[in-house]
Structure formats: C-alpha cells, structure tokens
C-alpha cells in the first residue's frame, strides 16, 4: 500500500487568486494522478503526472489553469490558477500501488472553497 498526504487539507480563497496543493507519498511511484470532485459529484481525472516529463491533461483541463510539477518520485504539486467559485471542489491525488497490482490509493483530499 501507499500512504499519501496532502497540504493544505482545506482552504478558503478569494476569486482571482491561485492555490498550490502539495501531495507527498511515502514510497517512490512512477505515476501520480490528480482528480477533482465537485460538490455532490463523482471524481474526474485532471491529469497524470510523470517524473521528468510534462503532465498529461484530460479533455477539459489545461496547463495554464492547472499547472502541475513533479520534481521527484515522491512529490507533486497542483496549482489552481485564477480561481473562480466554480473551482470550489475537493482535489485529490492518487498513486498506483505497483508490485503487480493496479490498486489505486488516494490522499485525504484538499477541500477548496472559492468566494
């Protein structure tokens, strides 16, 4: 299994500002994933972050809005830029366990409210 921590756990931000969310894993992993969960909705994949290369974004998500860094095999950041109230969501990072299984483990999430 993998133990994942995220910072901050929650934040309240003003419209037009940016917030950077950190994700730390207790073991080295090849791929990390960032998801968004809007209120009362399911999870939607934002992007896949591989160490040493540009993140791969899903349809509807762009790098200018959600820049991602992946400086090493245990850490990643997601920035939510120029925020609007529609960005109010839970943002979660996840990793694949590896070792012959594709089980995914999720961090506790960052609950973001944009006023």
Partner 1 sequence: GIQVEQSPPDLILQEGANSTLRCNFSDSVNNLQWFHQNPWGQLINLFYIPSGTKQNGRLSATTVATERYSLLYISSSQTTDSGVYFCAVDVGDDKIIFGKGTRLHILP
Which residue ranges make up the site for partner 1 (CB under 8 A)?
31, 33, 37, 41-45, 48, 90, 92, 96, 101-106, 108-109, 111
Give the nearer residue to partner 1 in terms of CB position, either 7 or 111: 111
Q: How far is the CB of 68 from partner 1 (least distance, A)?
A: 15
- Comparison of 45 and 81: residue with beta carbon closer to partner 1: 45
Q: Cα dist. 89→14, 39, 46, 52, 65 in Å?
A: 14, 6, 12, 28, 15
CA distance 51 to 49: 7
From the centroid of its chain, how far is CA 25? 12
| Cα–Cα distance, 35 to 48 (Å, whole number) | 9
**Shortest Cβ distance from residue 53 to partner 1 (Å)?**
13
CB of 92 to partner 1, least distance (A): 7
Q: Is 81 or 105 the residue whose CB approaches partner 1 more closely?
A: 105
């Amino acid at each position: 299994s993998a133990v994942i921590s995220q910072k901050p756990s929650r934040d309240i931000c003003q419209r037009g500002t940016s917030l950077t969310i950190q994700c730390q894993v207790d073991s080295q992993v090849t791929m990390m994933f960032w998801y968004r969960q809007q209120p009362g909705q399911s999870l939607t994949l934002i992007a896949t972050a591989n160490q040493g290369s540009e993140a791969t974004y899903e349809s509807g998500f762009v790098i200018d809005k959600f820049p991602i860094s992946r400086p090493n095999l245990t850490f990643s950041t997601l920035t939510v830029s120029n925020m609007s109230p529609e960005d109010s969501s839970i943002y979660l990072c996840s990793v694949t366990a590896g070792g012959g299984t594709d089980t995914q483990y999720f961090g506790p999430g960052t609950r973001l409210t944009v006023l």
